[in-house]
Amino acid sequence: MMSELPKVAHLAAGRSLVQWVLEAASAVEPTSTVVVVGHGSEMVAPMLPEHVQTAIQEVQLGTGHATRAALDVLDLEDDDVVIVLYGDMPLLSKDLVRDLAELGGQFSARLLTSVLEDPTGYGRVIRDASGSVVGVVEERDCSEEQRSIREVNAGVYAFRAGPLIGALAEVSNDNRQGEYYLTDVVGILVSKGDRLQAVNASPQEVMGINSQDQLAQAGKELRRRINAELMESGVWMLDPERTYIDESVVVEPGARIYPGVHLEGSTTVAAGATVGPDVFAVDSIIGPGATVWYSVLRSAVVGEACQVGPFASLRDGTVMEKGSKIGTFVETKNTSLGEDAKASHQAYLGDATIGARTNIGAGTITCNYDGVNKHPTEIGDDAFIGSDTMLVAPLRIGNRATTGAGSVITQDVSDGSLAVERSSQQEIPGYAETREKRKAAKQAED
Amino acid sequence: MMSELPKVAHLAAGRSLVQWVLEAASAVEPTSTVVVVGHGSEMVAPMLPEHVQTAIQEVQLGTGHATRAALDVLDLEDDDVVIVLYGDMPLLSKDLVRDLAELGGQFSARLLTSVLEDPTGYGRVIRDASGSVVGVVEERDCSEEQRSIREVNAGVYAFRAGPLIGALAEVSNDNRQGEYYLTDVVGILVSKGDRLQAVNASPQEVMGINSQDQLAQAGKELRRRINAELMESGVWMLDPERTYIDESVVVEPGARIYPGVHLEGSTTVAAGATVGPDVFAVDSIIGPGATVWYSVLRSAVVGEACQVGPFASLRDGTVMEKGSKIGTFVETKNTSLGEDAKASHQAYLGDATIGARTNIGAGTITCNYDGVNKHPTEIGDDAFIGSDTMLVAPLRIGNRATTGAGSVITQDVSDGSLAVERSSQQEIPGYAETREKRKAAKQAED
Amino acid sequence: MMSELPKVAHLAAGRSLVQWVLEAASAVEPTSTVVVVGHGSEMVAPMLPEHVQTAIQEVQLGTGHATRAALDVLDLEDDDVVIVLYGDMPLLSKDLVRDLAELGGQFSARLLTSVLEDPTGYGRVIRDASGSVVGVVEERDCSEEQRSIREVNAGVYAFRAGPLIGALAEVSNDNRQGEYYLTDVVGILVSKGDRLQAVNASPQEVMGINSQDQLAQAGKELRRRINAELMESGVWMLDPERTYIDESVVVEPGARIYPGVHLEGSTTVAAGATVGPDVFAVDSIIGPGATVWYSVLRSAVVGEACQVGPFASLRDGTVMEKGSKIGTFVETKNTSLGEDAKASHQAYLGDATIGARTNIGAGTITCNYDGVNKHPTEIGDDAFIGSDTMLVAPLRIGNRATTGAGSVITQDVSDGSLAVERSSQQEIPGYAETREKRKAAKQAED
């Protein structure tokens, strides 16, 4: 991956690779789940659900060695089924894991196979005339005829615990890398006359992630699945290929999502809401019938029938009550708007409580920061804040109060009052000539 | 579709599905056009062109029943050609409908067929040794051999009116759904010795829309066709797959469109204009040589060689004369800018008329709303509005007039005058210590 | 192309088509490189590197004629290798040109061939039983059997100079177009018993660009290659298909690029930087660990660990020192921010020098333009500019100085001072009634 982050800790569609695999594994409700961690285990462990155990593989001596490390943690009966998955296969589906778990009583292992365009480097799956799997031959041992087989062993298995433990004990590290390969277990079982089963998977499902390119491909496929499921439920998307919804997000049927939308974290979008184009929302709630476009939302709550954007930034602690509006070039932080309150244009509202039906004029700024501390601004219901009002916090503006355009308000304003801070307008006739002379002088100079 | 909207009323690339089908049908200039409507007809009827008749199908008793409802509305001669299309097949091309209409004189029907990867569920097309269509066998009646045929009946036909009417009368509803199937007409015609023709269509063209996923796919294909045609005419697109142009939009050759652009409604883009990245324009005009990027336009007119954005919002009634500029973080509504006028930064201009060559300073706001009414602002030619000027409407600023930065202008300003509203600057030395002490106190506290 | 620009001058992924071909040609370090130019040569010539010679083809008499024009400029030995490429094949790879140049000593020409789905219109490549190329037959001369050959001559060659010059002299213009075809050289060489070699290329690599659609396709493929290489090196991309990086841009391993990002010109992105979603950057530097999203950068320098956006516009001459911030709805031009300086909200900063740790309040505007000239603003270290301060340039604000919210500052402020321009706040009780009466009156009226 050309990255310091352990491979399985990379994210795709909002989940780490190992979390995707654990999610697939959860389909069979396993009694125990063990993740084998090596390099960077301190970055992987916090990603794991509580019920998951970890086994530390201090030195990386191959997949067989890793499997042994996992088995050490478990207390198994011979007949138990052990499913071995790779942490870098995020596209494994629940269906496939379920299928794998259906290991028949008379079989020692069930293995995932896949038919590849180019099988070079993989162990080929050998079947008899009836189609039963009778072995896996590693490429180095293949006959010319076997080499042409395109069905390969994907390295993912369900094993019967007894045979697995027995065979693992026989696996040697007598190879160029000096590693213990789990793959060798298959040959050992076959040599003992054990019977195998196979489940076919698409090459995509068993794709291991080993590069940024493959990570991007996996993300694309995971998003495709998420979006397909949402559309199936009745979510409209103009262009699902350009809609980036993490697995953790809830979008209700009847929501409409335009392209260029990123929904992350615990975000929810209610029925009848329209989101996008070009919205980034993390850990935010978008209510029924709300419209949000060309905006960024972080830990914000957009209530029913609210309007946001185009071009708004709602930061942590923004709460919009029903029917309120945060319009164009407006930024909010730790601020609530009451029902039907409006901040339609160019305002910065920080640490403010704004009452119902209050109108915030264009250019209004809550001067909440004095260079040392942040202070609150409280505005009542039905107030009218004139354009370009500076609200020097801490401050309280009463219900039905008004402020004059361009005023710097430093003292509280009573209910129903008009507060204004302004000088009188002066007019200096003939100023245009001054300006024009200056212009002429400059042009002469140039 | 998991939606309350009737299926054929869903939009793709700016047109409802049924409108796309009617557009394809228009290729043969039909004498009469009938749309059969059932559920939600009140939502469908207003979408239909005036010349289109509707037939109400009160209860949904199948495609044969629907066809009968349509025929009831028409006054047909036996030799007339009746084309039957589905309202949910927006990808049917004009060429295909034209081909369908070429029903030879000695034939009773011409049917669309398509070769599917998986024909399960469809009626198979039976051809004789010479390749002539001799029948359609429904899947339930297929022999093993017939079942392997991959050419299926797409359910789209041109019929000779007489045979159609005759055969429809014989169609029974003796099936599990209790419906009258139009498909049965084919078998009845064949059983009478009538001759059929077939026209092959791609599976895509005859795709019916039954899910949000298919709606998204259809939209993608329709946009691909629109963009291909525009590029063919000489429009440059950086990434046509990310360019969303509705069918109703006109883009002239020589225009340049970046990705993330949505053009809707009656929007037109002239030659030499550059639009995008990331522009949303509905019902707007973008003139020759204009540049618009990272902006939203609604019912706006951008004149020749104008500049808009990045980050501008032009709302209803914005009119920009040649060479004018609406720059960054500027919002306009019901406002005209004269030739070469400029509002380059952070202004809100509502209900304003701005003269030629006038410069609007950063932070200028037309205070057009007093909480009750909206008032107009008129600014002459060659005026210079200082930064952060509040223009309290109604107001008239004369030609060549100037306003001082930070002024609240409440009274008209005469031609050539400078108007200023300002107190004198005071300086309080040593204030930094106060602030720094406060900071130190806070740090001690924390 | 439906364009006035010469075809080979069109850009794809930041380079003209002819530049892409020259780049591919550079793989073999040619002794001389000649570009044959015709129509619009004055638009093509300036795009060419210095070491490239041009040959003018006054009238377009075919590819053979063009090749002769190029040979006239060169001083060749008979054994020299001449590679002939088309200026409109931007997808030719270096590997392919290298392969082409390996013309064996006993051969007169090595030609690129490609296997096409539909070979109609192309000369078919004839091979003998051993697979050796024995000729190319133009479609008009093909036997029925030859017509079914799908391997065609792509028209791209390496020639031995002597045989090429000899054969070109024999090429006639006795055809419908009256042109001299380079293709005919192949037949002439074969007729003389010369031996040919062939190199197979994918249809994509030898695609000539003849329409806007093909130009868009080529751009897509070139971007795909650029992004694949970047991901290979360790750059993370959420959606490489929506990431537009020109060939001239440098992105370091460990950078993270979201979709909707356009990087052009001499832009560089350092390791650990996060760019996007939705960023346009041209000729800009984004430093290590910096974050830039939803913003436009033109000739800007974003230092280490700086934050930009969402919604910022950084214009020419913006320089951000380490840890500084340009936040939401902030525009800068010819302005530097010292270490850890912050302009977090809604400011316009032009021609300003801002010291370390200084905080620029929301709504601050440098009034740098007086309608005639632009003037500088200098702000010291640790200053605190209050919200909505108008800084009327030329102006100097001292170190540790403060300005009061809403002040218009026209005179220099000393180190440590507070400067304020403000009237006193007035309160008019009962104003709400006035407003409410007006509202009632209006409602009565409506």
Mean pLDDT of B58-67: 91
Q: Which amino acid is at B55?
A: A
Question: How many degrees, rounded to 5, is the angle at CA C337 between CA C332 and CA C338?
Answer: 180
**Chain B interface includes A156 (CB < 8 A):** no
**Per CATH, domain B7-200 is 3.90.550.10:** yes
Mean pLDDT of A271-294: 98
Q: Which residues on B lie below 8 Å from C292 (Cβ)? A: none
Number of A to C CB contacts under 8 A, please give it: 169
Q: Which residues on A lie below 8 Å from C361 (Cβ)? A: 365, 367, 369
Question: How many degrees, rounded to 5, is the angle at CA B51 between CA B50 and CA B57?
Answer: 90
Mean pLDDT of B28-37: 95
Tokens 């990379």 map to which residue?
A10
**Chain C interface includes B437 (CB < 8 A):** no
Element (H, E) at C169: helix C161-170
**C-alpha pair distances (Å), B271 with each of A148, B419, C145:** 57, 42, 49
- Residue C446: the pLDDT is 77
From A373, A381, A313, select the one nearest A348 (Cα to Cα).
A313
Query: In this complex, which of B235, B258, B425 lies closest to C421 when CB atoms are compared?
Result: B425
**Chain A interface includes B409 (CB < 8 A):** yes
CA distance B89 to C80: 61
- Residue B20: the pLDDT is 97
Q: CATH 2.160.10.10 in chain C, residues?
A: 342-446
**Given B10, B65, B345, B375, the catalytic residue:** B345
The verdict on a CB contact (< 8 Å) between C371 and B431 is no
Q: CATH 3.90.550.10 in chain A, residues?
A: 7-200
Tally the residues of chain A. Answer: 446
CA distance A335 to A289: 21
Question: Could you tell me which residue, A254 or A132, shows the higher pLDDT?
Answer: A254
**Chain A interface includes B411 (CB < 8 A):** yes
**Chain C interface includes B237 (CB < 8 A):** yes
Q: Count Cβ atoms within 10 A of the Cβ of residue A59 and give its class: 0-12 exposed, 13-18 middle, 19 or more buried.
A: exposed
Q: Which amino acid is at C360?
A: I
**Chain C interface includes B374 (CB < 8 A):** no
- Residue B45: the pLDDT is 87
Q: For residue range A45-66, what is the model confidence (pLDDT) as tens digits?
A: 888 999 999 999 988 899 999 9
The verdict on a CB contact (< 8 Å) between A3 and C236 is yes
- H, E, C per residue of B8-67: HHCEECCEEHHHHHHHHHHHHCCCCEEEEEECEHHHHHHHCCCCEEEEECCCCCCHHHHH
Q: Which amino acid is at A263?
A: L
pLDDT higher than threshold 80 for residue A39:
no
CA distance B324 to B357: 8
**Chain C interface includes B151 (CB < 8 A):** no
**Chain B interface includes C403 (CB < 8 A):** no
Q: Which residues on C lie below 8 Å from B310 (Cβ)? A: 280, 296, 313
Does residue B345 carry a catalytic annotation? yes
From A363, A360, A438, select the one nearest A401 (Cα to Cα).
A360
| Strand boundaries in B187-314, DSSP class E | 196-200, 236-237, 243-245, 250-251, 256-257, 261-264, 268-269, 274-275, 279-282, 285-286, 291-292, 295-298, 300-302, 307-308, 312-314
Chain C residue whose CA is closest to A424: C423
- CB neighbourhood size of C182 (10 A): 23
Q: Long-range contact list for A93-97, CB < 8 A, 24+ apart?
A: A93/A24, A93/A205, A94/A23, A94/A24, A94/A26, A94/A27, A95/A27, A96/A24, A96/A199, A96/A201, A96/A205, A97/A24, A97/A25, A97/A27, A97/A28
pTM for the model stands at 0.95
The verdict on a CB contact (< 8 Å) between B280 and A310 is yes
Q: What is the CATH number of domain B342-446?
A: 2.160.10.10
CA distance C154 to C63: 13
Mutate to test the interface with C, among B224, B257, B348, B387 (most CBs of C within 10 A): B387
From B286, B254, B252, select the one nearest B267 (Cα to Cα).
B286
Query: Out of A417-426, B138-147, C164-173, C206-215, which region has the weakest mean confidence (pLDDT)?
Result: B138-147
Mutate to test the interface with A, among B215, B348, B381, B439 (most CBs of A within 10 A): B348
pLDDT higher than threshold 80 for residue C359:
yes
Chain C residue whose CA is closest to B434: C416
**Chain B interface includes A404 (CB < 8 A):** yes
Q: Which residues on B lie below 8 Å from C402 (Cβ)? A: 431-432, 435
Q: Which residues on C lie below 8 Å from A415 (Cβ)? A: 432
Mean pLDDT of C143-154: 92
Strands C352-354 and B336-337: unpaired
Non-local CB neighbours of C414 within 8 Å, separated by 6+ positions: B427, B429, C398, C401
Query: Out of A58-72, A261-275, C125-139, which region has the weakest mean confidence (pLDDT)?
Result: C125-139
The verdict on a CB contact (< 8 Å) between A418 and C427 is yes
- Restricting to B residues 265-294, those with a Cβ less than 8 Å away from any Cβ of A are 278, 280
Tally the residues of chain B. Answer: 446
Q: Which residues on C lie below 8 Å from A3 (Cβ)? A: 234, 236, 254
Query: In this complex, which of B211, B382, B442 lies closest to A232 when CB atoms are compared?
Result: B211
The verdict on a CB contact (< 8 Å) between C371 and A212 is no
Q: For residue range C22-43, what is the model confidence (pLDDT) as tens digits?
A: 999 999 999 999 999 987 788 8
Q: How far is C422 from chain B, CA to nearest CA, in Å? A: 6
Question: Could you tell me which residue, A445 or B339, shows the higher pLDDT?
Answer: B339
Omega into A277 within 30° of 0, i.e. cis? Answer: yes
CA distance C195 to B292: 58
pLDDT higher than threshold 90 for residue B152:
yes
Q: Which residues on B lie below 8 Å from A231 (Cβ)? A: 211-213, 216
CA distance A243 to A264: 11
**C-alpha pair distances (Å), A65 with each of A36, A55, A57:** 10, 11, 8
How big is chain C by its Cα radius of gyration, in Å?
Answer: 32
Mutate to test the interface with A, among C295, C358, C390, C427 (most CBs of A within 10 A): C427
Q: How far is B89 from chain A, CA to nearest CA, in Å? A: 18
pLDDT band at A163 (very low <50, low <70, confident <90, very high): very high
- Residue A320: the pLDDT is 98
pLDDT band at C2 (very low <50, low <70, confident <90, very high): confident
Q: How far is CA A101 from the centre of its chain?
A: 29
CA distance C85 to C20: 11
pLDDT band at C117 (very low <50, low <70, confident <90, very high): very high
Chain C residue whose CA is closest to A391: C405
pLDDT band at C102 (very low <50, low <70, confident <90, very high): very high
pLDDT band at C206 (very low <50, low <70, confident <90, very high): very high
pLDDT higher than threshold 90 for residue A169:
yes
Omega into C277 within 30° of 0, i.e. cis? Answer: yes
- Tally of helices (H runs) and strands (E runs) in chain B: 9, 41
pLDDT band at C277 (very low <50, low <70, confident <90, very high): very high
**Chain C interface includes B54 (CB < 8 A):** no
From C100, C124, C104, select the one nearest C114 (Cα to Cα).
C124
Dihedral sign (CA B26, B29, B30, B32): positive
**Chain C interface includes B420 (CB < 8 A):** no
pLDDT band at C350 (very low <50, low <70, confident <90, very high): very high
Q: What is the mean pLDDT of chain B?
A: 94
Query: In this complex, which of A365, A371, A402 lies closest to C431 when CB atoms are compared?
Result: A402
- Residue B138: the pLDDT is 84
Omega into C240 within 30° of 0, i.e. cis? Answer: no
Chain A residue whose CA is closest to B210: A232
Chain A residue whose CA is closest to C342: A371
Could you list the active site residues of A? 345
CA distance B234 to B228: 10
- Residue B156: the pLDDT is 95
Number of B to C CB contacts under 8 A, please give it: 169
Query: Out of A175-189, A193-207, A354-368, which region has the weakest mean confidence (pLDDT)?
Result: A175-189
Q: For residue range B34-44, what is the model confidence (pLDDT) as tens digits?
A: 999 987 788 89
Query: In this complex, which of C2, C365, C439 lies closest to B362 when CB atoms are compared?
Result: C365
Chain A residue whose CA is closest to B401: A432
**Chain C interface includes B234 (CB < 8 A):** yes
- Residue A299: the pLDDT is 98
CA distance A405 to B409: 10
Query: In this complex, which of C369, C384, C442 lies closest to B373 when CB atoms are compared?
Result: C442
**Chain A interface includes C438 (CB < 8 A):** no
Q: Which residues of A115-136 are buried (b: 16+ CB within 10 A; e: fewer)?
A: eeeebeebbbbbeeeeeebebb
From B266, B264, B314, B316, select the one nearest B290 (Cα to Cα).
B314
From A246, A317, A245, A316, select the one nearest A275 (Cα to Cα).
A245
Q: For residue range B277-304, what is the model confidence (pLDDT) as tens digits?
A: 999 999 999 999 999 999 999 999 999 9
pLDDT band at B130 (very low <50, low <70, confident <90, very high): confident
* C-alpha dihedral (B318, B320, B326, B331), degrees to nearest 10: -10
- Restricting to C residues 313-332, those with a Cβ less than 8 Å away from any Cβ of B are 313, 329, 331
CA distance B336 to B351: 8
CA distance B151 to B123: 9
The verdict on a CB contact (< 8 Å) between A432 and B415 is yes
**Chain B interface includes A431 (CB < 8 A):** yes
pLDDT higher than threshold 90 for residue A423:
yes
Chain B residue whose CA is closest to C364: B363
- Residue A136: the pLDDT is 86
Mean pLDDT of A439-443: 88
- Residue A97: the pLDDT is 96
Query: In this complex, which of B310, B329, B423 lies closest to C421 when CB atoms are compared?
Result: B423
From A323, A315, A312, select the one nearest A347 (Cα to Cα).
A312
The verdict on a CB contact (< 8 Å) between B215 and A238 is no
